[in-house]
A and B are shown apart, each in its own frame.
Chain A
Amino acid sequence: MKANRIISLSTIAAWAFALLWALPLIYALWAAFHPAAYATRFEVTAPLTFDNFRHAWVAAPFPRYFLNTVMLVLGIMLAQFVICTLAAFGLARWKFYGADILFALILIQLMVTPDVLILENYRTLQHLNLIDTLTGVGIPYVASAFGIFLLRQAFKTIPKELDDAARMEGASTLQTIWRVYLPLAKPIYVAYGLVSVSYHWNNFLWPLIVTNSVETRPLTVGLQTFASVDQGIDWSVICAAALMTSAPLMIAFLVFQRAFIQSFVRAGIR
């Protein structure tokens, strides 16, 4: 009896807390789906509308921002897959001269992340003529210590007999990676891919510095540009725009909740 009451109290506390946690989002959803007049008036009979989304969509070049972000996150992910796979395979399988020192040097990037080096990296991009390009936004992140680390761990668990067998059949190194290692490490690629896409979908400071035109700006920078230009502070439209930029990731998360959470855990616990 007493235990029951304690449990239900704890349940109520949990739900109250969850409601509090969801409040900002619920509030944003309310404002985004109702006419501006109801943004802060909570009446059940308030009419629903898509006008705020429609307004945001045409008031700023959001379609282009979406395209930029999609190209950016996919481009970074594919480049990371290729470059990190090659390095991780070498480091996992071959004791080549200097492999240990090299690995230690690579791991430095886990601490000294590109966002701390914005100034020097910006000057490097100037030399390479990559300012205001999507390549420039992505390139500092392509050789990712995190990805190399993750894939190296995964490759180490793959039995060596398998790639000896592939070699006996005359497969080259690249063919062995493609036929043996890629399929067996698939869950790690999924996990790494999800983490990478969510990170770069949300990344802000570096793209803000590097881009200065509609053709290159990703969604986060576009949203900030849109919200900081005087909109007559129409909060309903700003909320709609903020939700819109998050929508693809949010929907993907709602659909593949388990995969997302597992991926983050798998990528986080080393």
Chain B
Amino acid sequence: MGRGKARAVSSVRQRHLNIHIQGWLLALPAVVLLAAFTHIPAIKTVIDSFYSTPHGVRPARFIGLTQYQSLIADPIFWRAFTNNLLYALITVPLAIGFALVMALWVNGRISGRAGLRLAFFTPTILPMVAAANIWLFFYTQDYGLLNKIGRALGFASVNWLGDQATALPSLMAVTVWKEAGFFMIFYLAALQQVPPDLYEAARMENASRWQVFRRITWPMVMPTTLFVGINALINAFRVVDQVIAMTGGGPDNATTLLLFYIYQVAFSFWDLGYAAALSTVLLTGLAAVALAQFFLIDRKVHYR
């Protein structure tokens, strides 16, 4: 009797032990790959930023904060940084605003909804490189459609991508064009969750369309706005495809963004130490967004 119980306990314990071992075994492939391609490289990036770039026989040596000192003194870094900040501050609200308007249109009883949804969402499916090449044509100085329309309306031709003042906004337009339709579908899903009796009540009270939006729709889609906003923000700091395809960072670094500058320093100039310092700055920024998300979203989104 006593022995039987002991055996049962030991078999339960064995099964538990099995669960710990099996759990880790199941996770093992993912753990190894994640460590190899996310955690270790992230840590190594930070460490490398304190070392000099190895040249031929001269190995990397510890140089403390020197890379960061040259970073602070580097006008191109600051250009990329402010460009990227502008990029985020302008494209994120624009894409979100357009997305919400599109969703309200497509969600309403409008004729040809399917056509509208198609027009808004299709750019999302295109590879950015394909979209960039199509927009290149759109922006061409002599026979691009944009300048053709402009000339028809009596404006002078603009070298959209060749002019310091218009190059960055031209890239922003492509980003907004491609992202708004993607964010629209999240708003659509959110709008369909709004209880119809809220609108019913508003109608009884004779609320204006603006009041309905301000008092019902906007608060009800707030969690979606936060979710989409965080995603758009992260994306804004990872923009690089259209820079490579459309401007190569030019003219005179007017369209150089952080990830593009990292790419350039790492793979054109092969200045590994400096690229590591730049990457560390970007990683820190993304970590800050992650923390913001943790404190903001996790507190406010839970009633979903």
Contact = CB atoms under 8 A, between A and B. Distances in A.
Given A24-B134, A94-B20, A122-B267, 14 more contacts: A11-B111, A14-B116, A17-B102, A40-B145, A84-B30, A86-B30, A95-B19, A112-B283, A115-B259, A118-B266, A119-B45, A120-B45, A220-B129, A245-B129
B186 A268 contact: yes
Given A117-B37, A148-B30, A269-B186, A238 B23 contact: no
Contact of A117 (B125, B188, B279): B279
Contacts of B136: 227, 238
Interface in B190-246: 209, 227, 231, 234, 238, 240-241, 244-245
Interface stretch (B55-63, B72-80, B284-292): B284-292
Contact of B137 (A31, A115, A120): A31
Nearest to B288: A111
Contacts of A115: 238, 240, 259
Contact of A242 (B39, B121, B133, B283): B133
A235 B127 contact: no
Contacts of A117: 37-38, 41-42, 45, 279
A72 B115 CA distance: 32
Interface string B84-116: 000000000000000001100100101110011
Q: What's the interface size class on B, roughly?
A: 35 or more
Contact of A235 (B112, B140, B304): B140
Interface residues of A, number: 90
A188 interface: no
B189 A246 contact: no
Contacts of B12: none
25 contacts: A10-B110, A14-B105, A14-B110, A24-B123, A25-B123, A40-B148, A90-B27, A91-B23, A108-B38, A110-B290, A114-B37, A116-B238, A118-B263, A118-B266, A119-B45, A120-B48, A121-B41, A143-B32, A143-B33, A223-B133, A224-B245, A227-B245, A238-B136, A249-B127, A269-B186
Contacts of A10: 105, 108, 110
A120 B186 CA distance: 34
B65 interface: no
Which 8 pairs of residues, A with B, have the shortest CB-CB distance? Answer: A96-B23, A120-B41, A143-B33, A90-B26, A87-B30, A202-B127, A18-B119, A242-B130
Contact of B37 (A15, A140, A235): A140
B120 interface: yes
B172 interface: no
Nearest to A85: B26
B156 interface: no
Interface stretch (A46-54, A99-107, A156-164): A99-107
A132 to B, nearest CB: 14
A219 B127 contact: yes
B10 interface: no
B177 A94 contact: no
B128 A202 contact: yes
B171 interface: no
A142 B138 CA distance: 37
A159 B17 CA distance: 23
Interface string A220-251: 10011001100000010011011101100110
A25 B122 contact: yes
A98 B23 CA distance: 10
By CB atoms of chain A within 10 A, which of B42, B182, B186 has the most? B42
